[in-house]
Amino acid sequence: MSAQTAAAPLAFHRTLPPEEAARGHFYALLARMLNAPPDAGLLRDIASAPPLDPDGDAALAQAWNSLVAAASVMDAEAAAEEHDALFAAPGKAPVSLYAGFYMGATAVEHPRVRVRADLAALGLAPRSTEPEDHLGGILEAMRVLVAGGGGRGPAPLAEQRRFFEAYVAPAAGPFFEALGAAEPSNFYRRVAAVGAAFVALEAESFSLD
């Protein structure tokens, strides 16, 4: 993987190789942004993070550096309002946070049923009351597979790839596209660009391993 270490707003309790730590931080940050709006502390952490070198992955560097700049002028109240407008608007929210929406879920075969079984097999209990196909929870599960946590170490790369290809790859691309295009999206348009670039880099890297 070629993702470089950027912000580390959510610390790990173990030593990881730099590239794996960077992957874990990106998954953690994206999951955090979907599960709840960023608070003032997280916005400060992002705003003070070093830029990424475009000689690494140019798309990810451009998206990350734009997010860092946006965080420096964003306040927590406005971020919370935008998060609610995107994901919790009355009636039908502009952007769905559920993988099943992007994966063509049916009553017979819903992704959340498969995710529930996979999480149980991996020993990963859901961390919220949201349905198992909530993309924040899926990205958080990937963070644990990449970086470990809760007394467990990182999962083998083959296990990471299998979970990524089953749940992240089919849903995250169209989700971040929808998030970037949604009318209420301003700060979250930058989050969407980081997410899209990072998931594309992960898909490319897994295809080479």
Categorize the per-residue pLDDT at 86 as very low, low, confident or very high, splitting at 50, 70 and 90.
Answer: very high
Coil, helix or strand at residue 8: coil
Lowest average pLDDT, out of 7-21, 107-121, 136-150, goes to 7-21
CA distance 59 to 201: 9
Task: Dump pLDDT digits (tens) for 44-64.
Answer: 999 999 999 988 899 999 999
Coil, helix or strand at residue 65: helix
Predicted TM-score (pTM) of this structure? 0.89
pLDDT at 156 over 90: yes
Place of tokens 């830029």: 51
Residues paired with 134 in a beta bridge: 98
φ/ψ bin of 134: left (φ > 0), alpha (ψ from -120 to 50), beta (otherwise): beta
CA distance 86 to 23: 26
Q: What domains can be seen in the chain, in order of their start residue?
A: 18-208 (1.10.3480.10)
CA distance 62 to 52: 8
Residue 152 phi, psi (nearest 5): -120, 150
Out of 2-11, 107-116, 199-208, give the one with best mean pLDDT: 199-208
Task: Dump pLDDT digits (tens) for 168-181.
Answer: 999 999 999 999 99
- 8 Å CB contact between 179 and 188: yes
Q: What rounded mean pLDDT belongs to the chain? A: 88
Nearest to residue 137, comparing CAs of 124, 154, 148, 150?
124
Categorize the per-residue pLDDT at 3 as very low, low, confident or very high, splitting at 50, 70 and 90.
Answer: very low
Nearest to residue 65, comparing CAs of 75, 55, 80?
55
